[in-house]
């Protein structure tokens, strides 16, 4: 990664670590080769330069340290103990969770980058006179903010975004280019929405219409979407509005690219979904769940808290017990699925043995 900050803007290592929330992390700075180096950026072990901080989270990759040119490296305790008495060209930060500390530092550098970007309303943007823009808001080129919408302090809209009538965006949100938020959507603070995401489109609601064979009557989708704080939604992901009540996305939920969340779905806090997941209408997903890529969840079912679904799995009925579930059809508790899969892999041999037994009986 290239150096992010000019030397006069860069913090010392001590100040940098003090600027992020390290609550619950056990960290210790070793003062070699400098007691408090200036840190201009963050980079990988292979690419970080002499003014950057890097990290090692997997001790099996310890050999990469021999070629590292970073100013400081964050390492787990076992690596720190092995290196602390050696004459190293870089300093060490011992941390029990190096990957998490790296994530916090990367957030710090990204916030610094964003804070230096221009704020204000671009001349080509269209903002209704009744819309409320709080302090330090940026509305990019060709954006549209409709009547009675509210944009929280420090939030940024990239080029071509649309915020619909009476929708609310919290503080310090980041909408990349071409995000569309329909009317009556509420999004909490610090949300990140990537390009092409659509929040609040109509759910897929239709009733059979006997006036014409095979016809469908549209059910107007009168609900909204309610999204909590610290949510990230990937590129081209869609979250439909509710038919009557709201579709609800809890705090800290992370949705990857190209995910479909249907109307009236409820997703609990801190659940994460990988790309191409499809969740049918009125499904309830608990807290701290993980849903693997390309998984499908049928409508009107409930997943409890701490349920983990492997990629490509079709969930067609309620899952109450925490655990990992795997399989296209039928799904099963993961350990049971593994046993079944082991049997299936031997079916051809079993078939030959059965045929041999049948011949012997003849």
Instruction: Report d(CA 341, CA 339) in Å as an integer.
Output: 5
Q: What percent of the chain has pLDDT over 70?
A: 97
Predicted pLDDT at 331: 76
Cα(125)–Cα(145) distance, rounded to whole angstroms?
Answer: 8
- With a cut of 70, which residues of the chain have pLDDT below it? 1-3, 31-34, 328-329
CA atoms within 13 A on the CB side of 325: 27
pLDDT of residue 160: 98
For residue 355, the SS3 value is: helix
**Chain segment 4-42, per-residue pLDDT in tens:** 788 888 999 999 999 998 888 988 888 666 678 999 999
pLDDT, position 4: 78
C-alpha distances in angstroms, 189 versus 1, 90, 172? 28, 38, 6
Cα torsion 173, 175, 180, 181 to 10°: value is 0
Please state which CATH class domain 7-116 belongs to.
Answer: alpha beta
- What is the spatial distance between Cα 347 and Cα 360, in angstroms, rounded to a whole number? 20
Condensed to tens digits (0 to 9), the pLDDT of residues 180-227 reads 999 999 999 999 999 999 999 999 999 999 999 999 999 999 999 999
Superfamily of domain 120-325: Hexapeptide repeat proteins (2.160.10.10)
Spatial distance between the Cα atoms of 100 and 88, rounded to a whole number of angstroms: 24
Taking the domains of the chain in order of start, what are their residue ranges?
Answer: 7-116, 120-325
Q: Can you tell me the distance from the alpha carbon of 240 to that of 221, in angstroms, rounded to the nearest whole number?
A: 9
Residues acting as catalytic residues: 263
Q: pTM surpassing 0.85? A: yes
Interatomic CA distance for residues 281 and 297, integer angstroms: 9
Contact between 45 and 64 under an 8 Å Cβ cutoff? The reply is yes
């Amino acid at each position: 990664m290239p150096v992010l900050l000019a030397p006069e803007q860069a913090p010392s290592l001590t100040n940098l670590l003090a600027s992020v929330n390290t609550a619950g992390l056990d960290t210790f700075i070793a003062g070699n080769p400098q007691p408090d180096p200036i840190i201009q950026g963050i980079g990988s072990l292979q690419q970080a330069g002499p003014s950057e901080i890097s990290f090692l989270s997997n001790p099996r990759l310890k050999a990469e340290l021999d070629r590292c040119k970073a100013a400081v490296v964050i390492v787990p305790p076992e690596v720190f103990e092995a290196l602390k008495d050696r004459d190293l060209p870089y300093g060490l930060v011992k941390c029990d969770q190096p990957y998490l500390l790296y994530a916090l530092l990367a957030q710090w550098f990204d916030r610094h980058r964003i804070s230096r970007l221009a704020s204000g309303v671009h001349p080509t943007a269209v903002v209704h006179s009744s819309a409320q823009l709080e302090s330090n808001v940026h509305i990019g080129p060709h954006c549209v903010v409709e009547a009675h919408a509210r944009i929280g302090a420090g939030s940024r809209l990239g080029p071509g975004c649309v915020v619909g009538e009476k929708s609310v965006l919290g503080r310090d949100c980041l909408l990349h280019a071409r995000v569309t938020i329909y009317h009556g959507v509420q999004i909490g603070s610090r949300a990140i929405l990537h390009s092409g995401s659509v929040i609040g489109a109509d759910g897929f609601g239709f009733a059979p219409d006997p006036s014409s064979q095979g016809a469908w009557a549209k059910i107007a989708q009168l609900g909204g979407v309610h999204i909590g704080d610290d949510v990230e939604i990937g590129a081209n992901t869609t979250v439909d509005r509710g038919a009557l009540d709201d579709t609800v996305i809890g705090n800290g939920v992370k949705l990857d690219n190209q995910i479909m969340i249907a109307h009236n779905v409820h997703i609990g806090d801190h659940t994460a979904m990988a790309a191409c997941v499809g969740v049918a209408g009125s499904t309830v997903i608990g807290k701290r769940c993980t849903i693997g890529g390309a998984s499908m969840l049928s409508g009107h079912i409930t997943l409890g808290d701490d349920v983990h679904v492997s990629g490509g799995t079709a969930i067609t009925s309620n899952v109450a017990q925490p655990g990992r579930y795997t399989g296209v059809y039928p799904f099963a508790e993961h350990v049971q699925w593994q046993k079944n899969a082991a049997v299936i892999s031997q079916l051809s041999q079993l078939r030959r043995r059965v045929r041999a037994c049948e011949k012997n009986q003849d």
